[in-house]
Chains A and B, each alone.
Chain A
Amino acid sequence: MRFMMIVKATTDSEAGVLPSQELIDAMQKYNEELVKAGVLLAADGLHASSSAVRISYPEPGGKPKVVDGPFTEAKEMIAGYTLIEVKSREEAIEWALRMPDPHGYGQGEIELRQVFEFEELMEDPESIAREEALRKQIGESKNA
């Protein structure tokens, strides 16, 4: 099972303040632990939202609206993510709990989300049945 540990943005990360050496060391040690346990798939940090772009669709079926950053509400944004492969949801929680407080000043927040697996999308009997029904429908309308 894959999980994404999402580190939320903070006032500092948005202001481009680099993390303290202590935090960098702690993160490095944590990442090494993930590597040595064979569970780390990927980990990346993101630039602040000042260089971000938001694309939204305010009108259903309408044209996209493009807005340049920076954006307010740091908690709604993410500053980085770590992707892990583990045996169970409990194991993912345990790893997320071991991640150092990503900020340290009361704003640190990590969100743990399970990644959809291919078979969940492809082999779920319901969606297969739906897909088959859809194909049949398309076939019939073509023949009609």
Chain B
Amino acid sequence: MSVSQTHRAIETIWRMESPKIIAGVTRIVRDVGLAEDIAQDALVIALDRWPGTGIPEKPGAWLMTTAKRRALDLLRRNKLQDQKYVEIAREIDTYTEDDVDRALDGEIEDDLLRLIFMTCHPVLSQDARVSLTLRLLCGLTTDEIARSFLIAESTVAQRIVRAKRTLNAEKVPFEVPVGKELEERLCAVLEVIYLMFNEGYSATSGQNWTRPLLCQEALRLGRVLAAIVPGEPEVHGLVALMELQSSRLKTRVNAQGEPILLMDQNRALWDQLLIRRGLAALERGQKLGRTLGPYALQAAITACHAVARAPEDTNWIRIAALYEALSRQMPSPIVELNRAVAIGMAFGPAYGLQLVDALYAEPSLAGYHLLPSVRGDLLEKLGRYEEAAAEFERAAAMTRNEKEQALLLKRAAACRQEGGQA
């Protein structure tokens, strides 16, 4: 192996191991920023030594041990040691890489989980939670995060620095919450992951319709979480939802980068492997035997589409029922709008239109482009082309996504033409 190859291999190993190392070191120093620096130090040492000595047999364990020893050295130097640190120090001074590898699997997972709860802590703003989680748990660089969100790298760097400072200032503990708090905090964690996924799945502005890196990272983190907290049905629900949505990630746009609507997508190109994984995750969650939560319900809805071989095979009655269950759990005008679409498909556009018209009174949907877009669709199906065209144009004026805007204008023009011919 050449030196540059070795360096690449070391950097890869570090990227794979860094979340665990940062988590392990945070347990000792209780400061994520400091823990990240110490983990980086371990990388620097590896880059210096491994080209000469060769990559150790258990590189992850080596990095972990090195980082933890440095953390303890630092604590000793800073005279921060109290009895607890002395105990940890005694333990770490004597253990070898083999011990780390063999005995501490469960401990590493616990630390990782504590770190996720920390980076998704409610004292941080939503943006800060997402950036910090991508940085520390997904190992993305600030540059990669910046490019994923189409923002300046300095903005991301600042967000991360501030987030770390807030965690320290607020003395956010490095722990897994218990009891009632666990449920709420887990909700916050899942929200961060799904936000990440959605940002990737459907960019809210700019020319790119999808940004796959964020989807992949969110899915990966979701899978990790499902593996370390297998008893939480909503974790499986979220994983199922992301697997199923990812299965059609690549059929959502054509070669020109224009969006293709669900009903027009080429189902033969849907990723059957991800569909199978999604259905399996959904089942794992259901087997836990609790009431389906919002993520599991959304996954169940997505599954209805995934298993329909052709658009006309879609079980819209089941989808409408699932949306009803969802709106009881998570009442929201957007869920209502989706229920209206499902009712329109299951029982006829006139029924859907009734529900949509009722939503026009909803102030929170006033600027929401999907409302006129859905109404346009229902009107088009009812043959009311002029009204439909006007709705599509209204929707186009509201969206910030250029590709979506083009699609809406195209539909408006088609309706105008239909209307002209009638």
Contact = CB atoms under 8 A, between A and B. Distances in A.
Interface in B201-232: 216, 219-224, 227-228
Interface in A30-89: 35-39, 41-42, 83, 85, 87-88
Contacts of A117: 250
A126 interface: no
A105 interface: no
B13 interface: yes
Given A41-B273, A85-B216, A91-B12, A36 B109 contact: yes
A128 B220 CA distance: 31
A123 B256 CA distance: 9
Contacts of A39: 220, 223
Nearest to A41: B273
B59 to A, nearest CB: 8
A36 B15 contact: no
Nearest to B216: A85
B12 A90 contact: yes
Given A94-B13, A128-B255, A42 B273 contact: yes
Contacts of A42: 273
B277 A38 contact: no
Contacts of A87: 15, 216
Given A85-B216, A94-B9, A128-B255, A37 B228 contact: no
Contact of B255 (A37, A83, A122): A122
B147 interface: no
B224 A38 contact: yes
B400 interface: no
B250 A118 contact: yes
Contacts of A35: 223, 227
B8 interface: yes
A91 B273 contact: no
Given A35-B223, A36-B224, A36-B228, A118 B269 contact: yes
Interface residues of B, number: 23
A22 interface: no
B16 interface: yes
A140 interface: no
Nearest to B109: A36
Contact-residue bracket for chain A:
20 to 34
A123 to B, nearest CB: 6
B214 to A, nearest CB: 13
Interface in B6-54: 8-9, 11-13, 15-16
Contacts of B228: 36
A39 B8 CA distance: 20
Contact of B15 (A38, A85, A91, A128): A91
A90 B269 contact: no
Q: Counting chain B CB atoms within 10 Å of each CB, which of A38, A83, A118, A128 scores highest?
A: A38
A1 to B, nearest CB: 9
A87 to B, nearest CB: 7
A123 B227 contact: no
A127 to B, nearest CB: 10
B9 A38 contact: no
Contacts of A123: 255
A97 to B, nearest CB: 9
A37 B216 contact: no
A118 B8 CA distance: 27
B219 A38 contact: yes
Nearest to B276: A42
A4 B223 CA distance: 19
B109 A88 contact: no
Contacts of B220: 37-39, 85
A41 B277 contact: yes
Contacts of B16: 37, 91, 94
A129 B399 CA distance: 31
A83 B255 CA distance: 27
Contacts of A91: 12, 15-16
Nearest to B269: A118
Contacts of B223: 35, 38-39
10 contacts: A37-B16, A38-B219, A38-B220, A38-B227, A39-B220, A42-B273, A87-B15, A90-B9, A90-B11, A91-B16
Interface of B: 8-9, 11-13, 15-16, 109, 216, 219-224, 227-228, 250, 255, 269, 271, 273, 277
Given A41-B277, A42-B273, A90-B8, 5 more contacts: A36-B109, A38-B220, A39-B223, A93-B12, A118-B269
Interface of A: 35-39, 41-42, 83, 85, 87-88, 90-91, 93-94, 117-119, 122-123, 128
Nearest 8 pairs of A and B residues by beta carbon = A38-B223, A90-B12, A38-B220, A38-B224, A118-B250, A36-B227, A35-B227, A91-B12
